[in-house]
Amino acid sequence: MKSIPERIKEDLIAGSDEQTRISGERFFREDVKLYGVKSAMTERIAKEYFREIKERPKNEIFLMCEELWKSGYLEEAGIACNWSYFVHKRYEPTDFEIFERWISKYVTNWAACDTLCNHSVGTLVEMYPEKINDLKRLAHSKNRWEKRASAVSLIIPARKGMFLNDIFEIAEILLTDTDDMVRKGYGWMLKAASQAHQDKVFDFVMNHRTIMPRTSLRYAVEKMPADLKLRAMAK
């Protein structure tokens, strides 16, 4: 009998389209492996198969997620991210170690990083705020995706007004990073925080604007009123 990850692969291959694959590749600077399956179909496959496994132990579900990650295909990574979030009510603090391993071993593009971190990692940190210290540790990593993860994991909590001081601390760690993916990641985090704390984020940006990369600065003030944007971006 074929395993569920094997059956998923067959469904993805059957639903693939060459034009969709070519179109999808245009969103990435790095090489990505794509079947060429539209996101709506991938999400449907994820939900259909999750109904078969939802009553299984969380660790067993995580093992199947890891099998999907190992394929290297973005669609399978997306399903793994969906499944790991679907069980979020069962999260424990030690699950951070599993998510960190996936980032370190399998994440090779912004889409996989953001899908895992925005939902699974961010939710875990909301549930167990002490794990914010692990994000700060990742911010010091040499791995570009771990550094991006330290910021984009806080996008949804930031919109809720949470972790503002920690957000500023992570932004300061990443402030002069030369990697565009990291710059955009922490700029996005600041933009999300500005939705609840506009004045404080603006002050942070103004205090660091002389050394903050323009990419990060532009992201950070994107949701602010036009006059504040002009002040922040003025040379």
**Burial class of 50 by CB neighbour count within 10 A (0 to 12, 13 to 18, 19+):** middle
Print burial letters for 200-228: b (CB count within 10 Å at least 16), e (below 16): ebbebbeebbeebbeebbbbbbeebeeeb
Q: pLDDT digit string (tens) for 56-85?
A: 999 999 999 999 999 999 999 999 999 999
Q: How many domains does the chain have?
A: 1
Tokens (6 digits) for 42: 């991938």
Looking at the domain assignment, is residue 163 inside a domain? Answer: no
CATH label of the domain that carries residue 13: 1.25.10.90
End-to-end CA distance of the chain: 64
pTM: 0.94
Indicate whether 53 belongs to any domain: yes
54 lies in some domain: yes
Residues with Cβ < 8 Å from 137, sequence gap 6 or more?
none
Q: Which residue has the tokens 């997306």?
A: 78
Rounded to an integer, what is the distance from CA 9 to the centroid of its chain?
A: 23
Cα angle 148, 74, 151 (rounded to 5 degrees) comes to 15
pLDDT at residue 235 is higher than 90: no
Question: Could you read off the pLDDT of 78-103 as tens digits, one per residue?
Answer: 999 999 999 999 999 999 999 999 99
* 11 located within any domain: yes
Residue 14 inside a domain? The answer is: yes
Q: CA nearest 77: which of 105, 58, 55, 48? A: 105
- Residue 89: the pLDDT is 98
Residue 2's pLDDT band (cuts 50, 70, 90): confident
In a domain, 84, yes or no: yes
213 falls within a domain: no
Q: Is the pLDDT of residue 1 over 90?
A: no
What mean pLDDT comes out for the span 30-38?
91
What is the domain range of residue 78? 1-90
Tell the residue number behind the tokens 């993860």, with chain if given.
149
- Which contacts qualify for 55-59: CB closer than 8 Å, 24 or more apart? 58/87, 58/90
What was the pLDDT predicted at 186? 98
Condensed to tens digits (0 to 9), the pLDDT of residues 145-186 reads 999 999 999 999 999 999 999 999 999 999 999 999 999 999
pLDDT in tens, 201-223: 999 999 999 999 999 999 999 99
**160: in domain:** no
